[in-house]
Amino acid sequence: MRLFLGIEVPSPIKKELDQLFFGLPGANWVNKEQLHITLRFIGEIDRHQMKDIDDSLKLINFPMFPIKLKSVGAFYNKKYPKATWVGVDGNDQLLDLQKKVERTLRQTLTLERKKYLPHLTLARLKETSFHDIANYLELNSLFSAGPWNVDHFNLYSSVPTSQGPQYLIEESYSLS
């Protein structure tokens, strides 16, 4: 199984995001029903490891906290823009939760260390020009949505399909 941990985006926030899902040539837009903020990509694991992960994540004690989405950005490689995203504002508590999740997972798994940049991916880009992405980012630079209270996070599996990956909630972990 291919797993990751993430925070669901509530339906009212998804509606606010609608205004961003247009106007960018070469954009392969993310399915709005599957929008999430990734806490940690785990990767391929077996059912036994999943049980160990689940058992350890159930022990996390962390308070609910508010977050909101603010601004748009893009990831680039040397030749072209790769993806566009919405940033997360007020993310000190989100960063603390992510660190706690990371420490918990490292008790069970060996994971590659990566810098955490909280974001919500809107689209993967193919042959989008720098000019087009610059226009899109400028047009949407004042975007914000929320806030909402994060009261849980999920363990998702990613199942490949012909329409792209399908994310399924395997377990959910409440925040107090």
Which among 48, 119, 131, 152 is annotated as catalytic?
A: 119
- Short-list 39, 40, 37, CA closest to 9: 37
- Those residues whose C-beta lies under 8 Å from the C-beta of residue 85, and which sit 6 or more positions away, are 72, 73, 74, 75, 119, 120, 121, 122
Torsion of CA 84, 124, 146, 168, to 10 degrees: -160
CB 109 within 8 A of CB 45: yes
Whether 48 is a known active-site residue: answer no
Report d(CA 23, CA 81) in Å as an integer.
15
Report d(CA 39, CA 97) in Å as an integer.
8
User: Length of the chain in residues, anyone?
Assistant: 176
Which among 36, 48, 131, 152 is annotated as catalytic?
A: 36
What does R_g of the chain's alpha carbons equal in angstroms?
Answer: 17
- Position 96, amino acid: D
Whether 119 is a known active-site residue: answer yes
Report d(CA 20, CA 139) in Å as an integer.
10
| Positions marked catalytic | 36, 119
